[in-house]
Amino acid sequence: MALNTLNSDERLKALRAELARRDLDGFLVPRADEHLGEYVPANAERLAWISGFTGSAGLAVVLADRAVLFTDGRYVLQAAAQTDPALWQRRHLIEDPPPAWLAANARGARIGYDPWLFAEETLARYTEAAIALVGVGSNPIDAVWHDRPAPPLTPIADHPLAFAGMSVGAKREAAAARLREAGEDAAVISDPASIAWLLNFRGADVPYTPFGLGFALLHADAGVELFMAAAKVPAALAAGWGNAVSLSEREALPGALAALAGKRVRVDPAASPAWFAATLRAAGATVRPGMEPCILLKASKNPVEREGARIAHRRDAVALCRFLRWLETAAGRETEMSAAARLLALRAEGEGFRGESFAAIAGAGEHGAVIHYRATPESDRPIGSDETFLIDSGGQYPEGTTDVTRTVWTGPAAPPRAIAATYTRVLQGHVALARLAFPQGVAGAHLDAIARAALWSAGQDFDHGTGHGVGSFLSVHEGPVSISRAAKNVAIAEGMILSDEPGFYAPGSYGIRIENLLLVQKADFPEATKSFLGFETLTFAPYARCLIIAAMLTPDERAWIDAYHARVLAQVGPSLDAADRAWLAAACAPLV
């Protein structure tokens, strides 16, 4: 995580010259592509190119006399390590939001933005702060990024019904029915994950997330217009979609929007580029703000996808448990990067593994306190004795997507009681959420405090959400539901898969996070007067026994942990060799 070697000074000078040529006083550079997703292709890494910061969320404001990088709590330390303080000021994205900063520091300035890279909801925050933004027809960074990579053209492939669980026709009809119920004629779908779900294909245009980049229009009659490079779409796949799905190059998109004049078109103001709404209004269409019609259907996994998630997690658990045993002898001979490589190699030996669901976060000691730490050859350090080691990783399988975090103590000495007590409080919050039952209709923001209560009782907290949605062989971070104080007011529904990952981070010292994935299911209360939901834990891996202070646990917490460990042993043990199985039996023995 060393300072990026790019010449940020020369790139800033080139961008400022281009802004002056366009009569702009500044420009907003988000970490985003035209689909506003977390993972972007190399040709859209504009924020990394201009600043050196490689995190998955952030925004830069480049003015004539200064440049400011805004990141959230996950990336504060990474931003400090990767940007030159002589060129870049750093601000907290939440505590000092860019609209407020601009209002205080650049009021009256002409600030440019790319309407393909911002949602309307995001732009509204600048309007509310009385910032006059100027939309640009082409991105000025692209004009000075002379060796910018070409857009990806990786072919997409069929996602068979055996994994998808629902035909393309049934999905189109289910999504179109939502438009008809709302009295709408069409909807913009700009999220490639939703398009991949709708048309039962997967791709490889971006790292870690198996979708192909494109846009779509869904019509109320269940017809779909797909805008994607024809070179990416195999003829047999397109033929299988039938006449209800048309394929056009992206250049045909403006004309297709113009053809919607007089129609009511749904556009997600929080997740679609502002370009769509502006273009539709200019064409004479009525823009109806609303969540795109696939997103809730995709988030609530069907029975085939639910069983697929169980299969994927059992396969993943074999590699993870083998890794955790191997990790016990890593201190003094392995590094963060070699440990992550070992886990990847073990996953690759398993059936159906298609790659990581994100780049593994492997942080030893003080690096574990960097919430989204990414080891590099410059920052990679040995895993030492008597320290914490945090490994957050996941895999992609045709059956599902995994995401799991474990924190271990490397020994051989016993951990300090303060660290063990903090680990135990994190585990208590993790367990509290996993065993929770709650009324149907509850949203993620209502559950967030459940996982923090034990930490709060000791004056501790963590600066990230407690949980996020997870896709089915799609994005490891999937909306619309999350478990956090900032979560949207969208009800948690049966079939959703959410992470459960409280933590604690002591900067410069250590980090702790424990994460399982949870499947939302009906809770059985025979005498209940309303419907309740609960969770099925999908992840199978033991917790760090030496970091658990059993005396801090309630009887119910202890019973849950013992029962969970018994399930881990039963599910994973038969797939391990004798030595790994013996290790797992000891790791999963009842707490004493």
The mean pLDDT value for 98-105 works out to 94
pLDDT-derived band of residue 6, with 50, 70 and 90 as boundaries?
A: low
What's the pLDDT at 79? 87
What's the pLDDT at 39? 87
Asked if the domains 8-144 and 157-297 are classified in one and the same CATH topology, the answer is yes
Q: How far apart are CA 309 and CA 107, in angstroms?
A: 50
CB 192 within 8 A of CB 244: no
Q: Where are the domains of the chain?
A: 8-144, 157-297, 300-587
The mean pLDDT value for 78-96 works out to 90
pLDDT, mean over the chain? 96
Convert the pLDDT of each residue in 218-273 to its tens digit: 999 999 999 999 999 999 999 999 999 999 999 999 999 999 999 999 999 999 99
Convert the pLDDT of each residue in 368-417 to its tens digit: 999 888 898 989 999 999 999 999 999 999 999 999 999 999 999 999 99
Which of helix, strand or coil describes residue 217?
Answer: strand
Is this prediction's pTM over 0.85?
Answer: yes
1.20.1260.10, 1.10.1060.10, 3.40.50.620, 3.40.350.10: CATH of 8-144: 3.40.350.10
Q: Could you give the percent of the chain with pLDDT greater than 70?
A: 99
pLDDT exceeds 70 at position 3? no
1.10.10.10, 3.20.20.10, 3.40.350.10, 3.90.1150.10: CATH of 157-297: 3.40.350.10
Long-range contacts of 430-433 (CB under 8 A, 24+ apart): 430/500, 430/501, 430/502, 430/514, 430/515, 430/516, 431/557, 431/560, 431/561, 432/557, 433/466, 433/467, 433/483, 433/500, 433/502, 433/518, 433/535
Check if CATH label 3.90.1150.10 holds for domain 300-587. no
Convert the pLDDT of each residue in 326-348 to its tens digit: 999 999 999 999 999 999 999 99
* Nearest residue to 319 via CA among 387, 398, 404, 390: 404
Convert the pLDDT of each residue in 498-542 to its tens digit: 999 999 999 999 999 999 999 999 998 888 789 999 999 999 999
